[in-house]
Chain A
Amino acid sequence: MPHIHQVIEQQPDVDWLEIHSCNFIDSPTNLALLDNVAERYRLSFHGVSLNLGGTDKINANYLNLLRRAIDQYQPALISDHACFTAFESKNYHDLLPIPYTAEAVNHLATRITQVQDLLGRQILLENVSRYFTYPDQELTEAQFLNAVATQSGCGLLLDLNNAFVNQVNHQEDAKAFIEQLSLKHIAELHLAGHHREKDQLIDSHCAPICAEVWELFQSFIDHYRATFDTDELPPTLIEWDNQLPELQTLVDEQKFASDLIQRTLPQSSDLRIKARIETQKTAKTSGWN
């Protein structure tokens, strides 16, 4: 939101933009701003309030507002998260973890189907950062997401920063997680930054994308190309919500991701990413953080 007026005035050279739909769907002012943005850019709607993993009834007020905005703006993508955000009417406004069990697959798939039926559209389900692991889980996260996508017909939004945060916080293998995901379901990628608190990484979207996540991105590109023999990758978004840098920094990050996909950088993959790390160090001393 802080850059929206600048986006309208300067019209930066990016193909599409993603909005945090919860901040728009009921706000007359933000929707008027979105009118201006939608004249120039394709849109993606990304939300946090469907409470897909929750057990309360799906919030009809939220869903109707979302449907109204979707009908009006016809976004190319619509997404939410594999988590719960409210329980017994208390709203946590956070992406809280769900157990990876067969029952949870059925629960989530049923609710996603309900949402998709009402919206008349497919939605994407994003993997989340986790700070807790349920005991006695029956499935890995990748198996869980694959099963939900197959059962409900939803797509997947792969957040590579979340995969890396989980790797560090839970000693998981992010690369193995990505390789276990069924690529045919993946319809969007997120790249983001995090910060460290004590012995954990926190998915705060407040920093540049770290080198390890760029490496995961390169690894995903190679894996995707090898599987489908194509240069057309799912659309990739830079997420940066807190301690926002200048708009141009975000555009540069997007351009770097695009260059990696298009193979337009002259150096080898390792050198490209190392060069990126050096750029980040320079930028940090200039006051990013």
Chain B
Amino acid sequence: MSEANYKQQIAVFLEQSWPHSTYENNYSEGHRLALRRTFSGCAMLFTQWQADDVFNGLLRSYVLNRPTHHWDINCFGAELPEFIVAQQQSPKGSQFPWRLLADIAVLEYALASCYYGKIDVQSEHLIDLPELLSLNVESLSGLMKIMQEQHRYAIFDSSLLEYDKRASIEAIANETQRRPNQLKLRFESTPQSSVPRLHLSPSTPTNTANYQNAGNSVDQSLSVALHANEQHGSTSK
């Protein structure tokens, strides 16, 4: 038997026996659960909306259509934000704030990428979150609370919210004073621990176009989730 035969044997196994097997079920469920861990803030919102089935269905579809190429399963999900945005064209297009969810997914994937060393944030790393950072202060505060509970190794800088308050006060006097639409991520050691934590803070304002608080409907749907979160408590990994 030659090396080609060995390769052929496992190729035949993958082609003929892997589908519909315990292995395929393990693949589907293992990767779905990995995505739920990485995107646990998104998962929590769907739980609060009592729509776990919608998010799980979306994740199963993603697993089915996007093969993994990296050895680290924690890297799986890089394209989930755009997959989420595409849901605007689906029959559920108007039922959920897909663009905001995509921003949350971008943030959560960036957190995972920093945590697992796929992004070097020894200095800092900027991520664009126009929808998320256009939320009103109440919604943003509630969302940051969920994110903090789901990602305890990260520190969500409270100046994110202070900036909003300051901006709203100063907006009348100075219309150019806006929140930034980017967050800055960097690793930071704390006095309490030698283990560095991911610090998220506002970046310097770079784009003022998106801060007209255009997402009123988004704020409304999010406030439902945040209210439910307060009623039911929360979980974390």
- Which residues of A (167-193) have their CB < 8 Å from a CB of B? none
Q: Verify if B232 is at the interface (C-beta below 8 Å from A).
A: no
Residue pair B7, A55 in contact (C-beta under 8 Å): yes
| B3 near A103: Cβ-Cβ < 8 Å | yes
Q: Bound state CA distance, A254 and B57, in angstroms? A: 39
Structural contact, B9 and A86, CB atoms closer than 8 A: no
**Measured CA separation A53–B14 after assembly (Å):** 14
Q: Does A55 contact B6, Cβ atoms closer than 8 Å? A: yes
Q: Is the CB of B194 within 8 A of A32?
A: yes
**What is the CB-to-nearest-CB distance from B6 to chain A, in angstroms, rounded to a whole number?**
5
Chain A, interface size: which category?
35 or more
Shortest beta-carbon distance, B59 to chain A, in Å?
15
- Report whether A93 and B13 are in contact in the complex, using a CB–CB cutoff of 8 Å: no
Q: Which of B13, B17, B117, B194 contacts A26 (CB 8 A)?
A: B117
Quick check: which of B22-30, B47-55, B129-137, B160-168 contacts chain A, the rest being far away? B22-30
Who on chain B is nearest to A101 by CB? Answer: B1
Question: A32 contacts B6, CB within 8 Å?
Answer: no
For window 140-157 of B, CB contacts with A under 8 Å fall at: 153
Report the minimum CB–CB distance from B192 to chain A (whole Å).
12
Q: Which of B68-76, B176-184, B212-220 contacts A (4 or more CB under 8 A)?
A: B68-76
Q: Which of A2, A94, A97 has a CB less than 8 Å from the CB of B13?
A: A97
B115 interfacial by beta-carbon distance below 8 Å: yes
Kindly state whether residue A115 has any CB partner on chain B within 8 Å: no
B11 within 8 Å of A by Cβ?
A: yes
Picked from A55, A89, A202, the residue with its CB within 8 Å of the CB of B22 is A202
Which B residues lie within 8 Å of A61 (CB)? 71
Which residues of A79-111 are within 8 A (CB) of B?
A: 84-87, 89-94, 96-99, 101-104, 107
B2 at interface (Cβ–Cβ under 8 A)?
A: yes
Query: Quick check: B118 and A134 within 8 Å, CB to CB?
Result: no
- Residues facing A in B18-61 (CB within 8 A) are 18, 21-23, 26-27, 30-31, 34
Set of chain A residues within 8 Å of B9, measured between Cβ atoms: 99, 101, 134
Q: Mark A1-41, 1 if CB is under 8 A from B, else 0.
A: 01000000000000000000011001111101101100000
Residue of A whose beta carbon sits closest to that of B154 = A29
Name the CB-closest residue of B to A131.
Answer: B22
Q: Could you tell me if A89 and B69 are in contact, using CB atoms closer than 8 angstroms?
A: yes
Alpha-carbon distance A101/B72, docked complex (angstroms): 29
A92-B27, A103-B6, A107-B3 known; A22+B72 contact, CB < 8 A: yes
Is there contact, CB below 8 Å, between A103 and B116?
no
With an 8 A cutoff between CB atoms, is B91 at the interface? no
Q: What residue of chain B has the Cβ atom nearest to residue A50's Cβ?
A: B71
Instruction: Tell me if B173 counts as interface (CB < 8 A to partner A).
Output: no
B11: A residues at CB distance < 8 A: 87
Most buried by B among A30, A36, A86, A103: A103
A85 to B31 CA separation, bound complex (whole angstroms)? 14
> Would you give the shortest CB distance from B30 to chain A, in whole angstroms?
6
The CA of A102 and the CA of B74, in the complex, are separated in Å by 35
Does A228 interact with chain B (Cβ within 8 Å)? no
- CB distance B5 to A103 under 8 Å? yes
Hey, which chain A residues are within 8 Å of B70, CB to CB?
91
In the assembled complex, B171 has its CB within 8 A of some CB on chain A: no
- Say whether A23 contacts B196, CB under 8 Å: no
The 8 Å CB contact of A87, one of B10, B30, B118, is B10
Specify the chain A residue showing the minimal Cβ separation from B116: A27
Please judge, given known A-B contacts A27-B115, A132-B21, whether A86 and B71 are in contact too, CB under 8 Å: yes
* A202 contacts across to B, CB distance below 8 A: 22, 26
B7: A residues at CB distance < 8 A: 55
Is there contact, CB below 8 Å, between A36 and B195?
yes
Q: Chain B contacts of A91 at CB under 8 A?
A: 67-71, 73
**Sample of 17 further A-B pairs with CB below 8 A, known A22-B71, A23-B116, A26-B72:** A22-B72, A22-B73, A26-B117, A27-B115, A29-B196, A36-B194, A49-B72, A55-B7, A59-B71, A86-B71, A89-B69, A91-B71, A92-B68, A93-B31, A97-B13, A98-B10, A102-B1
Name 20 interchain pairs, CB-CB below 8 A, sorted by A. A2-B237, A23-B116, A26-B72, A29-B197, A29-B198, A30-B115, A32-B196, A33-B195, A62-B71, A87-B14, A89-B69, A93-B31, A94-B26, A99-B10, A101-B9, A103-B2, A103-B5, A131-B21, A132-B13, A197-B22
Across the A-B interface, give the 10 residue pairs with the lowest CB-CB distance, nearest first: A26-B117, A131-B22, A49-B71, A32-B195, A103-B1, A93-B73, A91-B68, A55-B7, A90-B67, A27-B116
